[in-house]
Structure 1
Amino acid sequence: MIKIKITDVAQRAGVSKSTVSQYLNGRFEYMSKETKKRVKAAVDDLNYIPNPIARSLKTDKTKMIGVIVRDITGYDTSRFIRGIHDYCKTSEYNALIYNTDFDPEIEAKSLHALNQLRVEGMLIASSGKNTSIITGFIEAGMQIVQFQIEHDGNEKNIVICDYRQAAFEATEYLIKLGHKRIGFVTQDFQDIKSRRERYLGYVEAHERYNIPLDKQLTKYWDRETGFEESFMDILDPSVLPTAFFTQQLDISTELLTIFKENHISIPDDVSLLAFEEIPNAEFFQVPISVVKQESHKLGYEAAKLLIENIKSKNKAPNRITIPCTLATRDSCIEV
């Protein structure tokens, strides 16, 4: 295949290379309509495609953003990426997506790789383990917007769900159904603000309705090791919560497996409300109530904020909070 060069376009149009370059970069101010028409015809006739790498070296603009996610196959993450893509379609930017599989070392390599690829900005669901790298890039002029998870509350630009309000409303819903023993099942949240906000919403609802908080009803789950203690300890009918409020999709699915193995019926034996949508949960024999994150909107707003910051680098830091939606189904009943 013959490689068409800018000189070929210039020769076909009967203009200089500089004029073709101005046309390709949208600078038509001093170009006659006839010249513009001839250059366009030459580009179309020769099927000329500009070299984006060469153009970026001249203009310092790649029109690329980097996206770093923890699990590209995740239900909410896939919708987040779609939101990014939908906003990019309204701009001149494209996205490069890196998947870390929850590994901080892969995350660090992804940050450096995207920087070497000369992206103009990055979106990242950070592990919290590479703060020094992220801070260094920001100080060097890289535009970075974090999303989905907040660690210490010092993130400069972030788009996040209103986790605390969502957890309060979900717990309140269960309380109004008569539940006073609500199991809160979560990953460790001591060093992650966005997880801690969910717990604080759960606590706030108990305080609002004067229900004593039983800390033994808070159970912990780890991505590598599963539940911190044997769930058999709380499956005893005498101590079993009347409802469980799970905080992550993998927790919800593992708990559903335990219920099935131990012949615990939802909602007859226990109610279940999950934070994060369970794929096709509305089609289960007993549809599961969930707190939905507006993931598409989250991605759309994150991409919008990043690209606006790229175009106007002196903008003040911005924190955008997106409300969640409580979808009540058949897995929660009155007691």
Structure 2
Amino acid sequence: MSKIKLIDVANLAEVSKSTVSQYLNGRFDYMSEKTKERIKRAVSELNYVPNPIARSLKLDKTKTIGVIVRDITGFDTSRTIRGIDDYCKTSDYNVLIYNTDVDPEVEAKSLEALYQLRVDGIIIAPTGNNTDLINKYIANGLPIVNFQLEHDGNEKSIIISDYRKAAYEATEYLITLGHQRICFVTQDFTNVKSRMDRYLGYADALSHYGIPVDDQLVQYWHRNSGFQSSPKSILNGINPPTAFFTQHLPITTELLAMLNAANILIPDNVSLLGFDDIPMAEFFKVPITVVTQNPYEIGREATKLLLNNINNKELGRQKVMLPCSLTERLSCKKL
């Protein structure tokens, strides 16, 4: 079946293409009722659907934004996407979602694809390896809003949680329970400002309470290879920690699996406080105390900021920080 075109509607209605175009765009000022009725019947009879891409080229807007995420299956990421989508629905925008699996090459291809599709703007949780490329697209007039991680601190528009304050308050909570040997478990934070901010919040709280930072209690986890030192070996060492403070949901879940396999009980043998909530945590035998972000609100605020940038490309650098909260459960024991 051949595709129905604008000229087909015009021929059937016995009007010009420009008249049909005016009708479809709601411009009826100089159009008679008979003409409108003929076009309406022709559109219905031919089952004509306007080409959104062609219309967007004329209007210089596609009413579509792109979203690039590191892991679409992530618990917080999925809720962020929901916040983005809900806000877009109220603003008559469509959403295209790309998943990178934290692969810089996939991220670069996703940026290029969305640029070629003429999206009006992009929301991205970046890997940090394509900063120059992102800046190039921004310089070319494409609004881009970052979320989830702040890498070098020079991002033009970004929505993030107040990581430093959240880490401070979580560490302080453990200290008030009597814990002074708190193992901070993180990914490498050398070149990622958001991860560094969490470490600084942890160190600030220890300093405030006169507890020196012990480098042996700063442990690392890698997405591909796991823990640099096993949690069991850490707990079997001299002067072991009494609490783990994990900085990423996959770290928390892998730590839980390893402690369970070693028959190390929470909180009897060691306390645990994680960053980011765990799906269905209420069904755990020992529900985990966590720092909770508000990913849904992050999604909405990121979309709001992006649409503001789309409608006003002269806006300067904007950084929005949203608060976190501590959800107390049963995984942290008072000493």
Q: TM-score, normalised by structure 2?
A: 0.93
In 2: Cα distance, 1:166 partner to 1:309 partner: 29
Stretches of structure 1 lacking an aligned partner (at least 5 in a row) = none
The answer for the alignment partner of 2:299 in structure 1 is: 299
Over 3 Å counting, the alpha-carbon distance change for 1:313 and 1:2 in structure 2 is same
CA deviation digits over 1:248-289, x for unaligned, max 9? 111111111121121110011111111011111121011111
- Is 1:333 paired with 2:333? yes
Q: Which amino acid aligns with 1:60?
A: D
Query: What are the ranges of 5 or more consecutive residues in structure 2 without an aligned counterpart?
Result: none
Match of 1:112 in 2: 112
Q: 1:103-148 deviations in whole A, cap 9, x for unaligned?
A: 1111111111111111121111111111111111111111111111
- Please list, as runs of the form range in 1=range in 2, the aligned pairs for 1:52-91 lying within 5 A after superposition: 52-91=52-91
More divergent stretch after superposition (6-15 vs 142-151): 6-15
The residue number in structure 2 matching 1:235 is 235
1:328, distance to aligned residue in structure 2 (A):
0.7
**Residue of structure 2 equivalent to 1:174:** 174
Q: How do 1:66-215 and structure 2 match up within 5 A?
A: 66-215=66-215
Task: Find the aligned partners of 1:40 and 1:317 in 2 and give their Cα distance.
Answer: 47
Q: Which moved more, 1:214-223 or 1:310-319?
A: 310-319
Cα distance change on mapping 1:36 and 1:286 into 2, 3 Å = farther
Distance 1:165 1:193 in 2: 14
Within-5 A mapping of 1:239-278: 239-278=239-278
Q: For residues 250 and 5 of structure 1, do their structure 2 counterparts lie closer, same or farther at Cα, with a shift above 3 Å needed? A: same
Change (3 A) 1:221 1:33: farther
Task: From the superposition, tell whether residues 327 and 41 of structure 1 become closer, same or farther in structure 2 (CA, over 3 Å).
Answer: farther
Task: Give the equivalent residue in structure 2 for 1:321.
Answer: 321
Partner Cα distance (1:197, 1:100) in 2: 24
SS at 1:173's partner residue? Answer: helix
Provide the secondary structure at the position in 2 that maps to 1:184. Answer: strand
Name the residue aligned to 2:16: 16
184-193 vs 41-50, greater mean Cα deviation: 41-50
Report the Cα distance in structure 2 between the residues aligned to 1:222 and 1:201, rounded to whole angstroms.
Answer: 21
Change (3 A) 1:187 1:5: same
- Equivalent pairs counted in the alignment come to 335
* Coordinate RMSD, CA, aligned: 2.0
Contact 2:273 2:331 in 1 (8 A): yes
Change (3 A) 1:323 1:43: farther
> In structure 2, what is the Cα distance between the partners aligned to 1:255 and 1:223?
13
SS of the residue 1:79 aligns to: helix
Could you tell which deviates more after superposition, 195-204 or 35-44?
Answer: 35-44
- Indicate the percent of aligned positions where both proteins have the same amino acid: 63
Partner Cα distance (2:227, 2:52) in 1: 49
**Structure 1 letter corresponding to 2:90:** T
Distance in 2, Cα, partners of 1:31 & 1:292: 57
For 2:41 and 2:323, how far apart are their aligned partners in 1? 50
TM-score (norm 1): 0.93
SS of 2:291's partner is strand
Distance 2:37 2:77 in 1: 44
1:66-117 Cα shifts (integer Å, max 9, x gaps): 1111111111111111111101101122111111111111111111111111
- Partners in 2 of 1:35 and 1:169 — Cα distance? 68
The 1:230–1:285 alpha-carbon spacing in structure 2 relative to 1, beyond 3 Å, is: closer
Secondary structure of the residue that 2:178 maps to in structure 1? coil
Amino acid of the structure 2 residue aligned with 1:302: A
Distance 1:25 1:311, change over 3 A: farther
Query: Aligned partners of 2:223, 2:209: CA distance in 1, in Å?
Result: 33
Inter-CA distance 95–257: structure 2 relative to 1 (3 Å threshold) = same
Once the two structures are TM-superposed, the CA of residue 15 in structure 1 deviates from its matched residue by 4.3
Letter in 1 for 2:260: K
